[in-house]
């Protein structure tokens, strides 16, 4: 089939998918437990994001994939490269072209991931209509963590959370408070005057990863070697600490005597998303049985730009509180209200993989279909422009070249 006709047909197919997706739209954000729309919650897209909609949406989708889907995507890209290479002739020039195409087939997946993870891009922002609703990230990191991006300082952490619509973010570096002082020093006097960074820490206990909220440098001995030594915690009479079980986790090891107050329903790391998708019902059932709050954590280490979920609490008058007072109010709400304390608002849709040999490709189409359904009208217009302008220019170039050859 001529290249021009193939390009036009591909553009027409993509246009049809966008049109059909518009007939069955889904909200950009939804309740992570029920899947229902969230009244009063809106995902606002910056103008540059809309202008670059295909690039930004695909990069966000890649950054929000669970582990198995990353393997699926890489294998799909490599398979596409192999098909592209097939049929090349064996002449010397053909062999050379074949080698270049093989190199391109391997480099393409790497380029896609570099763009999705490292390149800066606009960030969609959650906006809540209720002035007493506060959006919180309970699990994030800075360059003080051993696996944090080297230039991801407390200031960079704050800037990203502000761009994504978070009012509060807990900095939970691995067994260290090295960024705590810098984060606290730059906090606004009133919580409503800017994004607030609060202090926590990520540690291990019996093979499980926990975030401890309501802690600080005075408790450093309790986190020696990255393990939680509860008997070494400094006394704190003004408020109570909160223990958050992060994903991935061994759900079958959780006991009522563990002293947990919350568990992540959504964790933004690929491994966390893997368990969140596969075992969401089990996580919710565990939270229900132990009266644990369901929370969302970005697990942001500075490597991606998209937020996959937000934890929303209702705390009347929180904007007038000091950061320390807001910290106490958040933790008090979790301890007192448990399962009813927090609503997790999610941007991505969970896709549970099937068990057949064809399921990887089926899942790829399901994810693309969900993406088509979730696009806003401005995004659809941008997608159409990105699809048809290159296709039309390519056709015009070919016709111009053919006319010049005939003349």
Same domain, 87 and 158: no
Calculate mean pLDDT across residues 187-197.
98
Distances (CA, A) of 188 to 48, 196, 318: 28, 7, 13
Residues 327-385: pLDDT tens digits? 999 999 999 999 999 999 999 877 766 554 445 556 778 888 999 999 999 999 999 99
The neighbour count for residue 119, using CB atoms within 10 Å, is: 10
Tell me which of 346, 375, 402 is where a domain ends.
346
pLDDT at 350: 72
Same domain, 231 and 277: yes
pLDDT at 99: 67
pTM: 0.90
Tell me which of 121, 145, 179 is where a domain ends.
121
The neighbour count for residue 25, using CB atoms within 10 Å, is: 13
Q: Is residue 255 part of a domain?
A: yes
Strand partners for 125: 44
Res. 293 pLDDT band, cuts 50 70 90: very high
The neighbour count for residue 173, using CB atoms within 10 Å, is: 26
Q: Is residue 94 part of a domain?
A: yes
Same domain, 107 and 249: no
Angle, alpha carbons 270-382-167 (nearest 5°)? 50
Q: Are 368 and 383 in contact (CB under 8 A)?
A: no
Same domain, 110 and 135: no
Same domain, 157 and 72: no
* Greatest mean pLDDT range, 38-42, 120-124, 227-231: 38-42
Q: Is residue 29 part of a domain?
A: no
Cβ neighbors of 33 (< 8 A, separation 6 or more) are 265, 284, 294, 344
Higher pLDDT, 135 or 10: 135
Q: Is residue 19 part of a domain?
A: no
Q: Is residue 223 part of a domain?
A: yes
Same domain, 71 and 162: no
Following DSSP, what letter does each residue of 338-371 receive, concatenated?
GGGS-EEEESSPP----SSTTHHHHHHHHHHHHH
Answer yes or no: is pLDDT of 1 > 50.
no
Of residues 191, 213, 183, the one with CA closest to residue 131:
191
Angle at which helix 377-406 crosses helix 3-23, to 10 degrees, equals 170
Which tokens hold the place of 144?
Answer: 């003080």
Which tokens hold the place of 114?
Answer: 């570099």
Q: Are 65 and 73 in contact (CB under 8 A)?
A: yes
Answer yes or no: is pLDDT of 92 > 70.
no
Tell me which of 121, 150, 181 is where a domain ends.
121
CATH number where 264 lies: 3.20.20.140
Same domain, 130 and 273: yes
Residues 271-284: pLDDT tens digits? 999 999 999 999 99
Res. 44 pLDDT band, cuts 50 70 90: very high
Residues 198-247: pLDDT tens digits? 999 999 999 999 999 999 998 999 998 899 988 777 776 445 899 999 99
Residue 331 preceded by cis peptide, ω within 30: no
The domain of 101 spans: 53-121
Residues 14-26: pLDDT tens digits? 999 999 999 999 9
Same domain, 259 and 182: yes
pLDDT at 93: 55
Same domain, 68 and 210: no
Answer yes or no: is pLDDT of 84 > 60.
yes
Which segments within 63-207 are labelled E, that is strand?
125-128, 133-140, 168-171, 196-205
Q: How many domains does the chain have?
A: 2
Share of the chain above pLDDT 70, in %: 85
pLDDT at 28: 94
Same domain, 130 and 258: yes
210 secondary structure, DSSP code: E
pLDDT at 72: 81
Which tokens hold the place of 334?
Answer: 């979790």
For the chain, give the mean pLDDT.
Answer: 88
Q: Is residue 114 part of a domain?
A: yes
**Under the phi-then-psi rule, with left for phi > 0, alpha for psi from -120 to 50, and beta for the rest, what region is 227?**
beta
Res. 9 pLDDT band, cuts 50 70 90: confident
pLDDT at 406: 47
Answer yes or no: is pLDDT of 117 > 90.
no
Residues 244-262: pLDDT tens digits? 999 999 999 999 999 999 9
Strand partners for 199: 171
pLDDT at 384: 96
Res. 12 pLDDT band, cuts 50 70 90: very high
Residues 126-174: pLDDT tens digits? 999 999 999 999 999 999 999 999 999 999 999 999 999 999 999 999 9
In this predicted structure, which of 115-124, 200-209, 294-303 has the lowest mean pLDDT? Answer: 115-124
Q: Is residue 289 part of a domain?
A: yes
Same domain, 156 and 236: yes
pLDDT at 392: 86
pLDDT at 358: 46
Same domain, 113 and 180: no
């Amino acid at each position: 089939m001529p290249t021009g006709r193939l390009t036009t047909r591909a553009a027409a197919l993509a246009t049809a998918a966008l049109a059909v997706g518009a007939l069955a739209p889904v909200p950009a954000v939804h309740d992570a437990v029920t899947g229902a729309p969230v009244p009063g919650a809106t995902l606002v897209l910056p103008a540059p994001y809309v202008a670059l909609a295909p690039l930004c949406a695909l990069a966000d989708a890649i950054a929000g994939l669970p582990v198995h889907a990353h393997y699926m995507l890489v294998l799909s890209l490599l398979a596409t490269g192999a098909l592209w290479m097939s049929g090349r002739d064996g002449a010397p020039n053909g062999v050379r072209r074949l080698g270049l195409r093989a190199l391109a087939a391997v480099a393409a997946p790497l380029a896609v991931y570099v763009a999705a993870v490292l390149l800066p891009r606009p960030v969609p922002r959650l906006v809540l209509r209720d002035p007493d609703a506060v959006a919180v990230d309970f699990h994030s990191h800075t360059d003080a963590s051993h696996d944090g991006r080297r230039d991801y300082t407390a200031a960079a952490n704050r800037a990203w959370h502000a761009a994504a619509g978070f009012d509060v973010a807990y900095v939970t570096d691995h067994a260290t408070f090295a960024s705590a002082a810098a984060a606290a020093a730059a906090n606004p006097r009133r919580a409503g005057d800017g994004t607030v960074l609060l202090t926590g820490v990520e540690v291990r206990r019996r093979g499980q990863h926990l975030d401890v909220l309501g802690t600080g440098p005075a408790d450093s001995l309790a986190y020696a070697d990255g393990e939680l030594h509860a008997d070494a915690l400094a006394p704190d009479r003004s408020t109570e600490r909160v223990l958050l079980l992060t994903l991935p986790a061994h759900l079958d090891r959780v006991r009522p005597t563990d002293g947990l107050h919350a568990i992540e329903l959504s964790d933004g790391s690929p491994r966390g998303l893997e368990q969140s998708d596969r075992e969401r019902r089990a996580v919710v059932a565990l939270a229900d049985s132990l009266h644990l709050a369901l929370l969302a954590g970005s697990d942001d280490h500075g490597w991606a730009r998209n937020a996959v979920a937000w934890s929303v609490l209702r705390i009347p008058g929180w904007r007038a509180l000091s950061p320390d007072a807001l910290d106490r109010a958040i933790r008090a709400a979790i301890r007192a209200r448990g399962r009813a304390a927090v609503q997790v608002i999610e941007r991505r849709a969970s896709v549970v993989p099937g068990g057949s040999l064809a399921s990887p490709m089926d899942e790829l189409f399901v994810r693309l279909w969900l993406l088509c359904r979730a696009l806003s009208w401005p995004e659809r217009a941008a997608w159409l422009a990105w699809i048809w302008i290159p296709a039309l220019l390519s056709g015009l170039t070919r016709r111009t070249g053919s006319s010049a050859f005939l003349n």
